[in-house]
Structure 1
Amino acid sequence: MKLELHWKIFIGLIVGFLFGFFLPEHVSYIAWMGDLFLKALKMIIVPLLLTSIISGIMNIGNPEGLGRMGIRTITYYISTSLLAIVTGLFLVNMIRPGVGADLKFSQTVEGLAVATESFGSTLINIIPENIVRAMVNGEMISIIFISILSGLFATKLDEKYKNVIQNGIQAGFELTMKVTQWVIGFTHWGVMAIIAVVVSKTVQEGSITDLFQRLGLYMITVIAALAIHAFITLPLLLKFIARVRPIRHFHAMSTPLLTAFSTASSSATLPLSMEAMEHNAGVSNKVTSFVLPMGSTINMDGTALYECVAAMFIAQAYGIELTIAQQVIVVFTSLLASIGAAGIPMAGLVMMSVVLTAVGLPLEGVGLILAVDRILDMFRTSVNVWSDCCGAVVIARSEKEKLPKLE
């Protein structure tokens, strides 16, 4: 009997964890597999974004249809991110993991102030000075902007030119998906190596027991809030708004979700998410090619939740009681930061610094949580990808698509 890919990936996760934990000094022998896998995924992203978005917009066929879908997509993104943040805020106020935290274990964070200055220019940088440079540098928001613009104006060309472009773009998309399916076949090997590297670094940096004693309650708070959002809030949206079975959709998305967990990268997981949405869930390319690329860049439920919890933890650790008004500011800055930080170097730290600065908390507080940031990044990225995939189903249903595979 042939083992399904998601089971291979799960086994790869377990083997990678055991390898990294018991043989941390030998991880270098397999680390190259993870590097190659990530490079292969990132190689696909730009052609996939360009061809899928342009193809999707041309399939929609008119600006009115695109505008309708765009408004629904943005509404979903903002709503689910706010629900995630409020969940995190409730739990962190109830558990209060920062009370009594040891400030001596704060780590130095370099380059935070410099990175923060670039946050305000994010909107301006959506329009690239050089299209080729934007593609080479992997500037996701700029690439999405170029793709949407190209797709919109391609629909206004004469029919003979439009058909040529549409056929060429569709052929490019199909070719990219063939390459994607080939890369997906090696996912379990890449996941095994990536997890082994992460675990070995954690083991070599010091006592894991000591780490969990100092930050265990904080980690539990973040993971519990993420779990509530992923396994209660989003499934309820699938059940009552999209009218599909959440369990079936979760099973259909198992490969991209496990990959997101191991790579901690929404962008790197995008090719797998698109492939799974179309082939496993049955969502049309028209919806998938518009909703998922946008979501991988600006819809970050897990990250927004994490920023809110981390800011509250830092405030509690320093003995600072935030007022209701300040907590509302934390909620909205977490939302805005999660949307606006895409493409900025040190994005996670930039997002955190924006939230902390908004309520007058010390930037040095970021050093308190750096030790477990990579571990929690795996969980929040999985939630980011899961929210994108749920969003695609919700939007597909709003566009009157039938999804028999999920019913």
Structure 2
Amino acid sequence: MKKFRLALHCQILLALVAGVLFGIILTPYVKWVEWMGTVFLRALRMVIIPLVIVSIVSGVSQIGSAGAMGRLGGKTILYYLSTSTLAILTGLFFVNLIRPGVGADTGFSQEVDGLLLEGTSFGETLIRIIPENLFRAMAQDEILPVIFFSLLFGFFITRVKRQHRKVLESFFEAAFQVMMKLTLVIILITPFGVFGIIARNVARMLTEHGGDTGALLQLAGNLGMYMLTVLLGLSVHALVILPLIQRFVGGISPMKHFRAVTTPLVTAFSTSSAMATLPLTLDAVEHRDGVSNKISSFTLPLGATINMDGTALYECVAAMFIAQAYGIQPDFAQ
């Protein structure tokens, strides 16, 4: 008789629900379980930098020629720019259609003076991608400089003599396999980590509102149309736009891909971090979605850093919501 085993994404969903209930009902005892979330996040962050380095170096060194790398890089950047633009346009469409900020009671009653607007130009951002000190960038979780160095290192592996290239390729491929084995172990504790994270966050929100669930519901009611707009935009982008791109541009089954990445999606929802979920995403797309390592190791670390469609859509809606709430009410063109 085949032994029944609940799928990992189902375990995570159950852990998420259990965490919410625990945080609401047993708020004073959350301190006894929140350590599970802390351990889980620390374990994920522990493997992010090493995994990014070895996966990119291994993948880029397998790509080979500069022309092949340039084509892959060009297609990747084009895709990221396209999907981010579509996400922003989707957010603009729904926030102007629903207009959630008009008449919204945000509870903002105090004017704030003395805020300074500090910005970084695009040129400065590009310059900062080049790390002055790689180890400092690694210690401070500055992922773009790490990616930049790894891309260069992987590319120049292909430029050295054959005997040296083979040694380095074998080393980084072996290191990548070790990191994936370590990641698989961390994946096993994901439900416990999600439970601890959700229980802690729910308890923290209740504590901030004096343990009054009614206050939380009132706040949710005040921002209800805003949340509905964001969720509607995200749903259309994730369930309509991206599947259409997968089907007609990528030529793959959206349902097959969705089933393959269910665990990373649920984990990302629970942790609110695409970067923390990167190890799970790499494992899912390679072992369940059939994507080659040389593609995934190049595109995913870069995408987790710069291709944040949900963030782009959310920030667009948030900016428009605040403008509408203050009576500015910009039109679609603005």
TM-score by length of 2: 0.93
Shift in alpha-carbon separation, 1:210–1:130, aligned structure 2, 3 A: same
For residues 70-124 of structure 1, what are the alpha-carbon distances to aligned partners after superposition, in whole Å with 9 as ceiling and x for unaligned? 110111111111111111111111111101122543689899747x345663322
Return the letter of the residue paired with 2:153.
Answer: S
Identity rate, percent = 51
TM-aligned CA deviation for residue 39 of structure 1: 0.3
Q: Distance in 2 between matches of 1:111 and 1:43?
A: 39
Aligned counterpart for 2:225 among listed residues 212, 217, 224: 217
Q: Which residue does the alignment assign to 2:212?
A: none
TM-aligned CA deviation for residue 23 of structure 1: 1.6
For residues 294-328 of structure 1, what are the alpha-carbon distances to aligned partners after superposition, in whole Å with 9 as ceiling and x for unaligned? 100000100000111111101101101325542xx
Shift in alpha-carbon separation, 1:239–1:186, aligned structure 2, 3 A: same
Q: Distance in 1 between matches of 2:37 and 2:68?
A: 41
Secondary structure at the residue paired with 1:283?
coil
Q: State whether structure 2 residue 132 is matched by structure 1 residue 129.
A: yes
For residues 281-305 of structure 1, what are the alpha-carbon distances to aligned partners after superposition, in whole Å with 9 as ceiling and x for unaligned? 0100011001100100000100000
Return the letter of the residue paired with 2:179.
Answer: T
Q: Which residue does the alignment assign to 2:61?
A: 58
Q: Gapped runs of 5+ residues in structure 1?
A: 327-407
Q: Which residue does the alignment assign to 1:238?
A: 246
Name the one with the larger helix percent. 1
Q: Which residues in structure 2 correspond to 1:377-388 (within 5 Å)?
A: none
Return the letter of the residue paired with 2:22.
Answer: F
Q: Which residue does the alignment assign to 1:22?
A: 25
Q: Which residue does the alignment assign to 1:74?
A: 77
Q: Which residue does the alignment assign to 2:153?
A: 150
Secondary structure at the residue paired with 1:198?
helix
Q: Distance in 1 between matches of 2:330 and 2:244?
A: 31
Aligned counterpart for 1:87 among listed residues 90, 100, 107: 90
Q: State whether structure 2 residue 38 is matched by structure 1 residue 35.
A: yes
Q: Distance in 1 between matches of 2:229 and 2:89?
A: 13
Q: Gapped runs of 5+ residues in structure 2?
A: 210-214
TM-aligned CA deviation for residue 277 of structure 1: 0.5
Q: Give the root-mean-square deviation of aligned CA atoms.
A: 1.8
Shift in alpha-carbon separation, 1:111–1:253, aligned structure 2, 3 A: farther
Do the aligned residues in 1 keep the contact of 2:96 with 2:331 (CA within 8 Å)? no
Shift in alpha-carbon separation, 1:23–1:73, aligned structure 2, 3 A: same
Q: Which residue does the alignment assign to 1:387?
A: none
Q: Which residue does the alignment assign to 1:308?
A: 316
Q: Which residue does the alignment assign to 1:261?
A: 269
Q: Distance in 2 between matches of 1:245 and 1:110?
A: 52
TM-score by length of 1: 0.77
For residues 232-256 of structure 1, what are the alpha-carbon distances to aligned partners after superposition, in whole Å with 9 as ceiling and x for unaligned? 1111111222222211111110110
Q: Distance in 2 between matches of 1:176 and 1:81?
A: 30
Shift in alpha-carbon separation, 1:52–1:109, aligned structure 2, 3 A: farther
For residues 174-221 of structure 1, what are the alpha-carbon distances to aligned partners after superposition, in whole Å with 9 as ceiling and x for unaligned? 111110001111000000111111111222222111111211110111
Secondary structure at the residue paired with 2:194?
helix
Q: Which residue does the alignment assign to 2:235?
A: 227
